[in-house]
Structure 1
Amino acid sequence: MSDKIYDLGAGFWNIQGTFKLGGVVDIGTQCSLVQLESGKFVFLDSYELTDEVRKHVMKLTNDGQDVEAVLNVHPFHTVHCAQMAKDFPHATFYGSSRHRTEVPEVDWSDDLVESDAVAERYSELEFSLPEGIHYIAPNDSVHAGSLLVRHPASKSVHIDDTFMSPPFKILKAVLPELMLHPTTKKALKDEPNAGEQYCDWVIQLAHDWRDTHNFCAAHSEMVKFEIGGFEKALLKAVKKARPKLEAS
């Protein structure tokens, strides 16, 4: 799989990259580039840019000088952070507490990426942290938790793992358009009604972000929805999963 960059309009670009599981199977990964009202740019997630995609990004961002920040929104997506910091040394790097411990060579901001301070700083974006599940699960193999980001101007959503689309086009004929991450049940907090809290959060998010057009997810094919399609697909996914999640 070669890296690709998609211009989704209104100052939002999604970059679909390569990530080989065990060094063999390419399950893909992503980052997104957002132009702010100031003219500066922020990345959502880190990725080692190469070849034509790198040239394109550098042209857009004044050879990287206009990249103001990198927001690393998934606690377990840490592989490319160090290289990203080398590529954009003037940018402020935001991450979770796990980013700090896993990639200590990066000069992380004191403000965590999921903090209110970051949300207020980047008002062009909307953020949502799942309820009822761990953002940073005690089990390193459980990746359902992440900070979700929406760019209202382009009607684009950037999501790592929490929600997924079929990873390969051939699967779209037999799988739904959207799915909850397969480790969601394992990610539930050890609290009363955690499953109910999570499902209620998903339902509210589906309503609040119903006009989403571009669904950009890690390890997944991009999905383009008509208005209301994202809401419908997400409600269908949580309805199917709800009995098992609330039984936990």
Structure 2
Amino acid sequence: MTLVFEPQAPTIAATSAGDGFPVRRVFCIGRNYAAHAREMGRDPDREAPFFFTKWAETVVPTGATVAYPSETANFHYEAELVVAIGKGGRDIAAGEALDHVYGYATGLDMTRRDLQLEAREKGRPWDTGKNVEQSSPLGLIHPVDEVGHPEAGRIMLTVNGEVRQDADLTELIWPVADVIAYVSRFYRLEPGDLIYTGTPAGVGAVVEGEAVVVSVAGLSDCAITVGPPLRD
């Protein structure tokens, strides 16, 4: 069978071991730090975990220039611990969930906040606010045998060197094992899936030319520069 056109090449993330990690899907956990949930006008004590998805092609490597997207005047950063899945499974028990992890990375969930909030208020999907080109910057993925399973440690984001987000992984409402177990109830997780585990309080807007750096204790930084809009 002849293809109508050549398929797009897969997105390959980099690992600290020098290997390529083919990205399959991106799952993002919402409001997983209590203080951030409150700053977004929600009560974290009454909410089960929830998540949204992004295309794999939204993943870009640390060091990238991320284009300021169209149709927004409020482009926000969100620092995240990212889980890279290395073994598939469905209905994974929380006690076995960490066995499915290949490794961990720092990451960013860049958001058209004005469009997200508009969609939220109208009860519509968040796709235009969240599933945005170049919106999932990712640092090097560190295998578990190198870094273990981070359960505590500082997660911090700076803009032009100024600290904007500063928290600890112990503040996650739903830790990594619980998040994996929950997502696997709805979808069979597969090798190559990434789970962005949520962001601390302190989210805010960036403009063209600003430098954003995410740090998570024990992992490599994820750094981007906000660039001009994409031009075809």
Higher relative contact order (CA 8 A, sep 6+): 2
| Structure with greater proportional strand content | 2
TM-score computed with the length of structure 1 as normaliser: 0.24
Which protein is richer in helix relative to its size? 1
What's the TM-score, normalizing by structure 2? 0.26
